[in-house]
Structure 1
Amino acid sequence: MTSAVKPILIAGGGLSSLLFARSLQRSKLPYVVFERDASIVYRAQGYRLRLSSDGLNAIEEVLGEDFQDFYDQCGKTGGAGFSAIDPLSGETLGGQHNSVASEALTSRENRIVGCARGDMRKMFMEGCEDNIRWSHHVTGYELTDDGVRAVFKDGTKSEEGSLLVAGDGIKSEVAKQVSGGRLKVFDLGARGIHGQAPTTAFKGLGEGVFRLVDESRPEGKVFLITNVRAGDMDNPGIEFGWTMGGSPGVIHAPNDDFQIIGKAAADIAKSLSASWHPRVKPLFDNMIESEAAFWKITCSSPDGVPEWPNVPRVTLIGDAVHSMTPAGGNGANTAVRDSALLGKLLADAGGFKEGLTDEYEKKMRVYATEEVKKSYAMASQQFGVQIDATTPTL
């Protein structure tokens, strides 16, 4: 009598974990997801994500015949790059001021494709619901003779699995354990605010992806990025999002608590944009205050993903292994590439086998290191951040 196949254990219920779970579901490999939150709507989901060609290709590889439904629900925006707007004068900048337009953003059908993080999580989770264990915070692991167990915050342990894959974000304790402390996430000091407003607030901008930079403050820059999709513009029931950021020292959350959401974040965004032009002020005057949320700019080492002695039954995906700044929109697209790569290796092997995670990590390090370096370089230029010997880690 053969023993049952041990499930693959997944720590975290974010984008990379859920897409990885979909890959296992499609391959008919047993798995279980452990997520610390109580439900998918437990906390604010953050901003809209721009999907690159690499990101879309990875998602399509995993979703297969279900990809078209996903793609149909993504927003599509015309234009090849950013348009720069002076937030003080309301003018669209051209010539030397609009060098940001050279940053190509299109990925399919000559369109800029994006999807809200919360919507992506819901779509990736379809069909996986019965395999998710909510309110299970993974804080480490324990290797067994021929498997692995996840260790939870309350001291209990999971069933024995064949493999533990941690996709539980920048504060992953599994990442610290498996890498022997080699993986570090740096707090760059820059802070931001996410906001939402009805489509009517964006009428003055037109269609496109817009970047605003206010350099009038002595304490540092304030910038804003937003994406206006023409297809949704006349539907007042749809909200568009924007992301505001500030150089280190510009944005301060009350009591330094960046988990606060709602009016406290909304009030700061309104204050920072108080002198801005009427063309852009409706984004703040009409914002949905309850949706406002703070965020921190963090980044893995700008040298890229470090090497550590491979632990065959434990590996990492997404922000747990390569945290990136929002500059360039590389983070989520690299995370879904991890999900597709590791999922394919497991599908081809029919489940866990020796050497599989080593092969995955070697391939992942190549593209992820390239993306981390690009993300840090762009953030240094745009936000004035820098990693040195004094930069704190999370």
Structure 2
Amino acid sequence: MSSSKPVLIAGAGIASLLLAQSLRQSGIPFRIFERDASFVFRAQGYRLRLSSEGLDAIESVLDAETFQKFWNKCGKTSGSNGLTQFNAVTGEEIKTHAVPPQALVSRGGKVVGAARGDMRKIFAEGCEDHIEWAKEVTGYERTDDGVRAIFADGTKSVEGSLLVGGEGIRSKVARQLSGGKLKVYDTGARGIHGQAPTTAFKGLGEGVFILRDESRPDGTVSIITNVRPEDMDDPNVEFGWTMAGQPGVIRPPNEDYTIVGKQAADIAKSLTGDWHPRFRPLLDHMIESEAAFWKITCSTPTGVPDWPNNPRVTVIGDAVHSMTPAAGLGANTAVRDSALLGRLLREAGGCRPGVTAAYEKEMRVYASDAVHQSYSGAVRQFGIKIEEGVTPTV
């Protein structure tokens, strides 16, 4: 297999861009095809907690200077007390179901997090000229000595040595590659992402917090947030929070999840109107324009399925293992994919026989474990249940 043809990457999310960084440093040509018009085309979502495995994967790819730049952008929160839960209505601390500190910390005894937008920006450095915007990949075709991506408008890409599907939970590449075996289930649980000035978080102090409201007759609502100390007094910084509701609690107008802004903010406020005054500033002072809905989805809980290996096509990130936010494993598993596949391609000098098979064999082990952990946590936190053949897919 020739390495002169570029590696084609569908999607410009975190996993795709980190893989691109690995290829760039290995001198392997690549092209990225992204359906959005730019990085700021839509909301970037909430901050991501980075595990030791996730940080190790990122550091193994980035050069020392770029990793230091990335590390400087990360928030570091004291993890000495683990995760603290409060009754959102009474303000009392919930002592049960405590998350031990070691489950959260990753480096230096700290809980480390990064904004998705910052991660994409840093991972894209040096790769910008290789990104083609407004190119939605809807499938692929094999050639005699490579592969071409097929776009939504019917056009095709240049011939590549390998196509990597990294375009998220609705990946057409994943569906075609696996013959429909890769499924992403709609759990029915819903969320709202919000942001507020740092002053709104002063009543919480430093730490990782869950505010949990079990008083509603239609189901539980909770907010998780990470309050890091280094930015607390900076008026130009906003902190984010993520609201999650059990199935049926959070309902976007007309089930339209593209709605952002005031409509999403108003629903978040209506669900939390009787919350304790200590927590109200997170809602009362939220930046309404940043509010956005999201579905809580999950891949098959039993793990990543097998499919006949294709030496020219594989998948990474949410395209192959979508996870709930319950265990904070989705992004960390995705960057592990990027580091692993990038290393195998570097060691082989490009796309060679056996590379995708070796990647998929190793990925299935850690990704299946992560999906199981994510689903198990979501069953407890969000009251969801996936029944294969019954639960709808996205």
TM-score tier after normalising by the smaller chain length = over 0.9
2:91 corresponding residue in structure 1: 90
1:274-285 to structure 2, matched below 5 A, reads 274-285=273-284
Structure 1 partner of 2:67: 67
Asked whether the equivalents of residues 83 and 101 of structure 1 are also in contact (C-alpha less than 8 Å), the reply is no
1:220 maps to 2:202: no
Q: How many residues end up aligned between the 2 structures?
A: 390
Partners in 2 of 1:4 and 1:69 — Cα distance? 31
What are the Cα deviations for residues 257-277 of structure 1, in whole angstroms up to 9, with x where unaligned? 011110010000000110001
Cα deviations by residue, 1:313-354 (Å, 9 ceiling, x for unpaired): 000000000000011110000000000000000011110101
1:211 deviates by 0.6
Cα offset, 1:102, TM superposition: 5.8
- Report what 1:29 is aligned to: 28
Tell me by how many angstroms 1:92 deviates: 2.8
Rounded Cα–Cα distance in structure 1 between residues aligned with 2:241 and 2:72: 22
Corresponding residue of 2:119: 120
1:279 & 1:98 partners in 2: Cα distance?
22
Q: Comparing 228-237 with 45-54, which one deviates more in the overlay?
A: 228-237
Distance 1:391 1:385 in 2: 10
> For the residues of structure 1 that align with 2:346 and 2:97, how far apart are their CA atoms?
46
In 2, Cα distance between the equivalents of 1:124 and 1:273? 36
2:3 and 2:351 in contact (8 A); partners too: no
User: What letter corresponds to residue 156 of structure 2 in structure 1?
Assistant: K
With normalisation by structure 2, the TM-score equals 0.97
How has the CA–CA distance of structure 1 residues 219 and 4 changed in structure 2, closer, same or farther, with 3 Å as cutoff?
A: closer
Give, in angstroms, the shift of residue 103 of structure 1. 6.6
Measure the CA separation in 2 of the matches of 1:355 and 1:235. 51
Offset, 1:73: 1.1
In the other structure, the counterpart of 2:311 is 312
Q: Aligned partners of 1:91, 1:24: CA distance in 2, in Å? A: 50
**2:84 and 2:98 in contact (8 A); partners too:** no
Deviation at 1:390, TM superposition (A): 1.9
1:99 alignment partner, SS class: strand
Q: Which residue matches 2:146?
A: 147
AA paired with 2:85? A
Give, as a single letter, the amino acid of the residue that structure 1 aligns with 2:122: M
CA contact (8 A) 1:84 1:100 kept: no
Q: CA deviation at 1:98?
A: 5.3
TM-score normalized with structure 1 length: 0.97
Quote the residue 2:243 is aligned against. 244
Q: How big is the shift at 1:93?
A: 3.2
Q: Identity of aligned pairs, percent?
A: 66
> Which amino acid in the other structure matches residue 113 of structure 1?
V
Distance 2:259 2:83 in 1: 30
Q: Distance in 2 between matches of 1:4 and 1:22?
A: 17
Number of the residue aligned with 2:165: 166
Partner of 2:378: 379
Q: 2 CA distance for matches of 1:233 and 1:100?
A: 24
Distance in structure 2 (CA, Å) of the matches to 1:370 and 1:93: 28
Residue 182 (structure 2) aligns with: 183
* Cα distance in structure 1, aligned partners of 2:162 and 2:329: 27
Aligned letter for 2:373? K
Q: In 2, are the aligned partners of 1:312 and 1:355 still within 8 Å (CA)?
A: yes
Match of 2:262 in 1: 263
SS of corresponding position for 2:53: helix
Q: Is residue 3–residue 350 contact of structure 2 (8 Å, CA) maintained in 1?
A: no
CA offsets 1:269-301 (integer angstroms, 9 cap, x no match): 000110001100000000000000001000000
Q: Secondary structure at the match of 2:362?
A: helix
Q: Which runs of 5+ in 1 are unaligned?
A: none
- CA–CA distance in structure 2, aligned partners of residues 327 and 117 of structure 1: 17
Aligned letter for 1:71? Answer: W
* Amino acid corresponding to residue 246 of structure 2 in structure 1: S
Pairwise CA distance, 1:31: 0.3
The residue matched to 1:106 in structure 2 has which SS?
coil
The runs of 4+ residues in structure 1 deviating greater than 6 Å are: none
The answer as to whether partners of 1:83 and 1:98 remain within 8 angstroms in 2 is: no
**For the residues of structure 2 that align with 1:291 and 1:103, how far apart are their CA atoms?**
32
| Whole-angstrom distance in 1 between the partners of 2:37 and 2:97 | 44
